[in-house]
């Protein structure tokens, strides 16, 4: 997992062959003009999902993981908590390989993501996004999916 400010994204562009293009997309796109939905960057190897939602209570969520994609989750506006844990021997409570996600029962620690920040979640990183701090707030997030 990586947690940082977007201004530092150049530090991570060589971790994966598509990271440079992913961060370039985030830097150059005016997300205030984009509606919720999926936006192709490089076919199914690299695409973005724009999401606007209200944060929820942690009791309404479960940690998730993906096998085929790395998530770069960028907060355009708002603030949320994200539960995190390392995937070890937890057993999935639901698994949908065709949709590339599985949900787990797992204890998590929480990090705070604010506007201008991003987190990178690799296949071994459980993450539980969209959690409210003290009260529910609106968040606009861009999740760039990077093919492993």
pLDDT digits (tens, 9 = 90+) for 76-135: 999 999 999 999 988 899 988 888 989 999 999 999 999 999 999 999 999 999 999 999
Residue 72 has pLDDT above 90, yes or no: yes
Measure CA of the first residue to CA of the last residue in the chain; give whole Å: 14
Strands of 69-77's sheet, edge to edge? 2-5, 117-121, 69-77, 138-147, 46-54, 37-42
Look up the domain containing 143 and give its range: 2-147
Confidence at residue 3, expressed as pLDDT on a 0 to 100 scale: 98
pLDDT reading at 143 higher than 90: yes
CATH code for the domain in which residue 114 is found: 2.60.120.370
Give me the mean pLDDT over the 10-39 stretch. Answer: 96
pLDDT value of position 95: 87
Contact at 8 Å (CB) between 13 and 19? yes
> Do 101 and 64 touch, CB atoms closer than 8 A?
yes
How many domains is the chain built from? Answer: 1
How much of the chain exceeds pLDDT 90, in percent?
A: 93
**What percent of the chain is modeled with pLDDT above 70?**
100
pLDDT at residue number 96: 87
Per-residue confidence (pLDDT) for residue 98, from 0 to 100:
83
User: In the prediction, which pLDDT does 2 show?
Assistant: 98
pLDDT at 99: 87
């Amino acid at each position: 997992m990586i947690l940082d400010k977007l201004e530092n994204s150049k530090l991570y562009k060589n971790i994966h062959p598509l990271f440079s293009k992913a961060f370039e997309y985030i830097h150059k796109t005016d997300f205030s003009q984009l509606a919720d939905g999926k936006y192709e960057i490089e076919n199914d190897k690299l695409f973005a999902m724009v999401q606007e939602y209200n944060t929820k209570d942690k009791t309404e969520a479960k940690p998730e993981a993906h096998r085929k994609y790395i998530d770069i989750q960028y907060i355009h506006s708002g603030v949320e908590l994200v539960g995190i844990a390392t995937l070890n021997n937890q057993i999935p409570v639901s698994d949908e390989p065709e949709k590339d996600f599985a949900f787990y029962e797992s204890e998590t620690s929480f990090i705070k993501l604010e506007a201008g920040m991003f987190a990178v979640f690799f296949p071994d990183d459980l993450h539980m996004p969209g959690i409210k701090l003290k009260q529910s707030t609106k968040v606009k997030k861009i999740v760039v999916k990077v093919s492993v």
